[in-house]
Structures are given as structure tokens and as C-alpha cells.
Amino acid sequence: MTHPLFHPDAEEISLPAIFTALGDETRLNIIAILARNGERAMTCGQFTELGSKTALSYHVAKLREAGVINVRPDGTKRFLTLRRADLDNRFPGFLDSVIASASTIPLPENQSPAGPAETPGETEWT
């Protein structure tokens, strides 16, 4: 990595940018799954059912550039987390209402709402 991945500062996160980022089915699903997974970070590889490797890379970048998620490289993987604190601070109540609303929408595959991990040792923390 020549320079670290760009993330907008908390105060630079704009509402239209968030809406644009969330206005895509794939990206909204990524957010919903991340939210269901609690505070645990997830890798891009855990979203393969949502699209191709290339498409996911594209969508994850969009979410990152909009300030919705944080992407932390670690080895060959990237760990994704919601920027909860930053979003709550800038737009109080917004993320919660989005997650609550998005949760009424069925996910494309068998995404269990944060039960015990099927493959122990795979979960990571921020």
C-alpha cells in the first residue's frame, strides 16, 4: 500500500454521500449484514453471495469513501466495520433508524443474526 486507505474525517461525512452510498441494493445489504454481526469486523470474503470479487471491491470502496465503513488492512485481508461512533456523532439516530429499517428487508441468503460463529476463531475485533 503506497498510502493508507482514504477515509473521510467524521466532520466531512455528508448526508447526500451517505444516501448515494446506501442507494444500492448490494451496499445496503453489506451494511445490514455488518450491523447484524454486532461489533465484529468482517472481511470482503464474507460477502461473496452479494456479488463478484470485483464488484464487492468496488462497493466496499464506495462505502469507505462515503464514510459509512472503516476498512483496516491486515495481512491479505481487509476488516470492515461500521463507523458507528462517527455517524452517531454527526447524525444522531440516523444509523440506528437505517439499520432498523433495513432489517425489515430480507437478506439474499442465509445470514443468521449474529449467532455463534460456525467457524470458531474466524471472528475478529476492532
Partner DNA sequence: TCCTTTGTTCAATGATCCTTGAACTATTGA
Partner DNA sequence: TCAATAGTTCAAGGATCATTGAACAAAGGA
Interacting residues toward DNA by CB under 7 A? 1, 20, 23-24, 26, 43-45, 51-62, 71, 75-78
Q: Which one among 16, 106, 115, 116 touches its own copies, defined by CB under 8 A? A: 16
CB of 93 to DNA, least distance (A): 25
| Residue 15 lies near its own copies (rule: CB under 8 A) | yes
| Residue 126 lies near its own copies (rule: CB under 8 A) | no
Long-range contacts of 73-80 (CB under 8 A, 24+ apart): 73/1, 73/5, 74/124, 77/43, 77/44, 77/45, 78/43, 78/44, 79/41, 79/42, 79/43, 79/124, 79/126, 80/30, 80/34, 80/41, 80/42, 80/43, 80/44
> Which residue number, 1 or 118, has a Cβ lying nearer to DNA?
1
